[in-house]
Amino acid sequence: MDRILIGFIALVLLLMAVLPLFGFNLILVLGPAAFEPFDPSVEPIYLFVGRSAGLATAAFFAVNFLRHRRPLTAASPLLVYANFTLIFGLAYLVQTSSFQLIQLWPVPILIVLSVFLFKQNQRESAKIFSKDW
């Protein structure tokens, strides 16, 4: 029963993260669940990028929990969040009607951060398992 509940929570989190890309917003606070229209031209995009990245990160680790795969290092959640921020940031920016190239200035920073966190994650994982032998 616990695994079913965690799977359901992961599904709801993933839906809440992805639905704005399709023009809907799933709201679960202040009463029963409600679908609201999402218009990227009037909504504060940066808030939805952070929200979607956070929800997708939580769903990712919930699914990994169900698969009995725990994060090995503290860098792993940061790496996943940085990657989802990059993915959702680009997806939301492409949808806006006022898209300008200057809005992509955080992308190189996020790519460098992702590469750095990936290397940190690999280094820490190797250090953890080198003590087992």
What is the length of the chain?
Answer: 133
Q: Are 61 and 77 in contact (CB under 8 A)?
A: yes
Total domains, the chain: 1
- pLDDT band at 123, cuts 50/70/90? confident
- pLDDT band at 133, cuts 50/70/90? low
d(CA 76, CA 64): 12
For residue 130, what pLDDT is reported? 63
For residue 111, what pLDDT is reported? 94
pLDDT in tens, 41-90: 777 888 889 999 999 999 999 998 888 887 777 888 999 999 999 999 98
DSSP letter (8 states) at residue 96: -
Q: Are 112 and 83 in contact (CB under 8 A)?
A: no
> Where is 85: in which H helix or E strand?
helix 75-95
**How far are the Cα atoms of 38, 67, 83 from residue 75, in angstroms, in the given order?**
33, 20, 12
The residue range of the domain holding 96 is 2-130
The model's pTM is 0.81
For residue 131, what pLDDT is reported? 59
Determine the average pLDDT of the residues in 77-105: 87
HEC readout, 16-84: HHHHHHHCEEEECCCCCCEEEECCCCCCCHHHHHHHHHHHHHHHHHHHHHHCCCCCCCCHHHHHHHHHH
